[in-house]
């Protein structure tokens, strides 16, 4: 641990992430060991608790998290998700307090169909991401996938739409964020609902 963080802080964060992971896994959005979640513990320096790599997200315990720094590298011990670096980049870029990454069918399918972004308009559920329900078009960005988190982070930063707290990674899944784990969860559920609606329309 660092001077500002204790094992109890990490365990408490782990309990929150385990509960959120179980919820998303129950929806089929984190099948097998796919997907990952994080929560910011400190801002200066940036430290996040990130779900550990290779664990079934429906069976996480409070111990199944790793403390990482602003580059996504483990601070103490454990193996964080391979995408921890991108979680840290999103937290630094957006000021988010929590980041969700899920692998949903709708996000992957629509990412292929709309490489330039997915446009939503005149849908009441847009209020769930803080946007007017009518007379405003909001684009959910879509970026090309990469196994290099620096490249992926650069693409996310270039494509980010400040009015939409999410981005689709084509062929991969959905990244969503919020001020807190609860808000990140709500944003994830709303964005996924919008994606599922768009998928049924086609």
pLDDT of residue 198: 95
pLDDT of residue 131: 93
For the chain, residues with pLDDT lower than 70 are 1-4, 202
**Cα angle, residue 35 at apex, residues 83 and 97 outer, rounded to 5°:** 65
pLDDT of residue 7: 79
CATH number among 3.30.70.260, 3.40.50.670, 3.90.1150.10, 3.40.225.10, domain 7-201: 3.40.225.10
Q: Which residues of 122-131 are buried (b: 16+ CB within 10 A; e: fewer)?
A: ebeebebbeb
pLDDT of residue 162: 94
Domain boundaries, the chain: 7-201
pLDDT of residue 195: 98
């Amino acid at each position: 641990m660092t001077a500002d963080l204790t094992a109890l802080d990490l365990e408490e964060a782990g309990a929150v992430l385990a509960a959120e992971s179980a919820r998303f896994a129950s929806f089929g959005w984190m099948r097998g060991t796919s997907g990952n979640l994080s929560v910011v513990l400190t801002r200066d320096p940036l430290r996040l608790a990130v779900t550990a790599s290779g664990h079934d997200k429906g069976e996480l315990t409070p111990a199944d998290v790793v403390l990482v720094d602003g580059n996504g590298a483990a601070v103490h011990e454990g193996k964080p998700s391979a995408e921890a670096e991108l979680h840290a980049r999103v937290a630094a870029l957006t000021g988010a307090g929590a980041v969700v990454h899920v692998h949903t069918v709708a996000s992957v399918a629509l990412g292929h169909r709309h490489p330039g972004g997915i446009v939503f308009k005149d849908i009441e559920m847009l209020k769930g991401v803080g946007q007017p329900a009518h007379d405003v078009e909001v684009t959910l960005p879509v970026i090309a996938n990469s196994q290099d988190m620096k490249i992926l982070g650069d693409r996310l930063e270039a494509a980010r739409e400040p009015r939409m707290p999410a981005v689709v990674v084509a062929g991969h899944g959905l990244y969503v964020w919020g001020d807190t784990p609860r808000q990140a969860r709500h944003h994830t559920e709303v964005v996924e609902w919008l994606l599922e609606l768009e998928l049924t329309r086609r």
